[in-house]
Amino acid sequence: MRTNALAFADHGTPDVLDPATTDVAGPGPGQVRTRVHATGVNPLDLKLNNGAMAAFMPLDLPYIPGL
């Protein structure tokens, strides 16, 4: 299944976030799929985006934020 997301391919300001489409695995046994109507960005996502956490939490880019 394909889904929409925001991703960044390089560290920077929130302006580097770009729409992306990614594959999502289907639900496994005992799991359900839910539809998300809204999301948010938390302070850690912004620190990952601007590279402030790169020494502690290196990312494989492109990266889709959200913890």
**Separation of CA 32 from chain center:** 21
Quote the CA–CA distance of 23 and 3 in Å, as a whole number. Answer: 6
| Average pLDDT value for the chain | 89
Q: What is the pTM of this model?
A: 0.71
Our CA angle for 32, 37, 43, nearest 5°, is: 100
**What's the pLDDT tens digit per position in 7-18?**
999 999 888 889
What would the mean pLDDT of 32-57 be, rounded to a whole number?
89
- What H or E segment, with its residue span, contains residue 19? strand 18-23
What would the mean pLDDT of 45-64 be, rounded to a whole number?
91
Nearest to 57 by CA among 48, 49, 66: 48
